[in-house]
Amino acid sequence: MTTNDAPATVEPAAPEAPRGRRGFVAGGHYIPYVMILPAAAALVAVMGYPLFELFDLSFQNVNRYAVLVNPSLAEYLGFEGYTKVLSDGQFWEVVLRSFLFTVELVTLSMVLGMLFALLLNRVSTWVKITVVTVLMFVWAIPALVTGTVFRWIFASTGGIADYVLHLVTGSESVKHYDWFADPTVGLYVVGAAVIVWGALPFLVLGLNAALTQVPKELVEAARLDGANALQTFRHVTVPVIKPFLTLSASLSFIWDFQVFAQIYALRNTSPEPEYWTIGTYLYQKGVVSSHYSSSAVISIAMILLMLAVLVFYIRQVVKIGAQD
């Protein structure tokens, strides 16, 4: 069969005209930066001036007398204030105590928070609602009030903790036990109990929400492969909720390292030197002793000590954002 029709030829597509350079708004690449600019400007305006004054104060010799009575005594001393603070053995003792105390708090908070979150997933709906309501109530109580209540609970006279121990053990020696006589017990037991109590609501609710994101199919597949509950938690649950675990641990470290109100209330507004963490130490130097320049140096040292944790936290946030 023949035809006089010539085979169709495909003409090459005309090359696209070169696109002009996209504009600032049309391109869209810089819009996020424009949107965040007001917030960044407000943050710089609010924090910039106080930080400048803090650094300026750290190079001076300023106390209450120099401010109120004889301002001419205030003079610039250069790095003498830094040398004085950094060569003080008490400062490094407080830093070490703060670090150890913070590690204890973060560890206890994360472990207990995870245990309560796992239990919360296994209870009925009405029990879960009741527990969440109680946690929100605990979270709403100011830290000063919590510290005061725990001071009453662990009081050596009429304290509930001593009475319960007496009922459990039957020993008369614990009936009037002074929890604060030994600073190690007072800080690392009672103080830790106060702070962990206030930290649990955020961690329990957050971890419980993170656990709901674990696919049930993965858990069932792990069980079918013979994994027990601990192996399933370690190899399935933890990798899924790892972003929240990392962020919550970093935030807990930042919050707990600078804790002040709970210890301040727990020791009836007069914490002994053995109870000083970096927050209470800063208060004693800056407010009680009125050594304003020394407190400025301590504040800057505190900021620098937290930068490592902040850098780690920001890196994790960026990494999680890139994965999403």
The SS3 assignment for 323 reads: helix
For the chain, what is the total number of helices (H) and then of strands (E)? 16, 0
Only one residue has tokens 């209330």, namely 265
Coil, helix or strand at residue 201: helix
- Domain membership of residue 18 (yes or no) is no
Q: What angle do CA 145, 148, 152 make, to 5 degrees?
A: 140
* pLDDT score recorded for residue 28: 59
Q: Look up residue 196 and give its two tokens.
A: 């962990």
Of 209, 2, 192, whose CA–CA distance to 120 is shortest?
A: 209
Share in percent of the chain as helix, strand, coil (round to 5): 75, 0, 25
Residue 13 confidence (pLDDT): 54
Q: What are phi and psi of 181, to 5 degrees?
A: -65, -40
Give the pLDDT score at 246.
87
Give me the domain span that covers residue 133.
88-323
> Which residues does 236 contact at the CB level (< 8 Å), separation at least 6?
214, 218, 219, 222, 227
Domain annotation covers residue 44: no
Is there a domain that residue 251 lies in?
Answer: yes
Asked, for residue 292, whether it belongs to a domain, the answer is: yes
Question: Residue 189 class from Cβ within 10 Å (0-12 exposed, 13-18 middle, 19+ buried)?
Answer: middle
Residue 69 burial (C-beta neighbours within 10 Å; 0-12, 13-18, 19+): exposed
Task: Quote the pLDDT of residue 16.
Answer: 56
- Structure confidence at residue 281 (pLDDT): 93
Contact between residue 239 and residue 247 where contact means Cβ atoms under 8 Å apart: no
Rounded mean pLDDT for each run of 10 residues along the chain, 324 residues in total: 51 53 56 82 84 89 73 81 90 94 95 93 89 90 92 89 88 86 93 94 92 88 87 89 88 90 91 93 88 90 84 74 63
Residue 100's pLDDT is: 95
In a domain, 7, yes or no: no
Q: Scanning the structure block, which residue is given the tokens 């924090």?
A: 47
| pLDDT (0 to 100) of residue 159 | 86
Domain total for the chain? 1
Q: Report d(CA 204, CA 211) in Å as an integer.
A: 10
Residue 116 forms part of a structural domain: yes
Residues 284, 159, 149: CA angle, nearest 5 degrees: 50
| CATH code of the domain containing 195 | 1.10.3720.10
Q: Which amino acid is at 132?
A: V
Is 180 inside a domain boundary? yes
Q: What is the pLDDT of residue 150?
A: 94
Task: Using alpha carbons, list the distances in angstroms from residue 33 to 36, 93, 172.
Answer: 5, 43, 67
Structural domain includes residue 53: no
